[in-house]
Structure 1
Amino acid sequence: MQLVNPILMLQKATEQKKAICALNAHTCESIQAIVWAAQRLGAPVMVAASQSTLQYMGVAEFAAIAKAVAKKADVPVALHLDHCTKFPMIVECIKEGFTSVMIDGSHLPYEENLALAQKVVEVAHAAGVAVESELGRVGGAEDDLNVDEREATFTVPEEAADYVRRSGVDSLAVAIGTAHGVYKGTPKLDLERLSAIRAAVSVPLVLHGASGVPDDAVRAAVARGIAKVNIATELKIPMAGAVREVLLGDENETDPRRYMGHAREVVSAVAEKKILLCGADQITF
């Protein structure tokens, strides 16, 4: 199947109170692991790439691998640019076949954030590409993203309604108490705020920093309107652990197919659990 624009899957997820998993990939093996997990479950999925991952692999190279893997799948697969702050990279990803892009202007003053989102929407929509943006700031550190806890701010429902209406974005990432990276304690989500945001805006809502959030909290967020759940750290940690397990188990092992093959299996199993947690396997079209 060809890569798809995720708007329909996100709308269906919203209507059915389920969520699409946007799973961050960093290598060819992790792209395969994510799509294969979705294929086993018959679930739609979004393969996500961060700015730093694309700087490492190359935009064209990452997109080519994702297209090749998705082409062999029978489930809808969207290719998503995650947390991008650079307009030129947005344009490059659109040219290379990404079907969804996230412009992150959450570090900017409100009107500047809005203007940047409008600029991206104009370009992306002309190419048939979906746009996600963020209002409020999700704290924490991951890849090249680093937001001090003191700088993190929660999304204001009234601002969210104005932002969505004026920007034209297709989905909105909201800050309700999650963080990127590894949590120092158990996160507490502001579910009442989430319900208020859901009531104020019409587009699908996105939860960033879901790695490490307890399963019951993820389910509660989905039940209250989250339609896309981003996972990155919870895929990186088991991948590193799997490689370490093989290499420490045999100091003479040198075959990347052995240690990366094992890593692919482990990551795919985690991806499957996250897809089931979000109920994506139950979404009907």
Structure 2
Amino acid sequence: MLTFIGLGLFDEYDISLKGLEAVREADLVYAEFYTSCLMGTNLEKMEKLYGKRVILLSREDVEQYPNWLNEARDRNICFLTGGDTMVSTTHVDLRLRAEKLGIETNLIHGASIASAVSGLTGLQNYRFGKSASIPHPYESRRGTRIISETPYDIIKQNTELGLHTLVFLDIDKEKGYMTINTALELLLEVEGKRGEGVMRGTAAVGIARAGSEKPMVKADYVENLKSFDFGNPLHILVIPGKLHFLEAEALVKLAQGPMGFMEKAE
């Protein structure tokens, strides 16, 4: 049996009681934290609460050489991830690999950043369009700095439809955790290159440390928000589309947004 367990948003205490019971009953416990991670804890604290050793897997262990899956043929294995399990395509692929090997799988869900963002900001979840992910820039073989324009295109498409965009920010082993500030600067750089006007004068909402006792939630116009200090990671960004008047009120009162949001609301 292979049980996928979502650990929630911030620390070791976010795991569900059902998940905790499954971990304690497991023969082996694996985890990956390259798609997401719990910033309020570490392996030592997790192992102390769970009463189990947690074996940390690399990207290669999960995506390229998941030989450890064979252990689930005749043993009870748990696979831990930040947030909710199966949100990442990587985890769906892993589950399908297990099924092809004849391994029974089970899911135990955890709190998701997608639903947490709606709760923290007051933006209604059914008004979100396709989400986007902003990777760190990289250098081509010729030494040219390359910025992905796909996130900008997704935001543009959603904005034209009046939909909000949830923007995930890159976690890179070498370059670290992308900040909201960097993400906005990259989007504005793409916009400047194209000579378009999707981002400028647009509302944006930054969320930092969701799931902690004191998460940071701040709404403002893009030009102002890019210099705001959100503190420690993890960060996530929302570019709202058309605002319902209740959403606009929530951004003003819950996220210290400008009163101008109310004037443009429907």
Q: What is the TM-score when the length of structure 1 is the normalising length?
A: 0.28
Bigger radius of gyration, 1 or 2? 2
Whose helix fraction is larger, Structure 1's or Structure 2's? 1
With a CA cutoff of 8 Å and minimum separation of 6, indicate the structure with the bigger relative contact order.
1
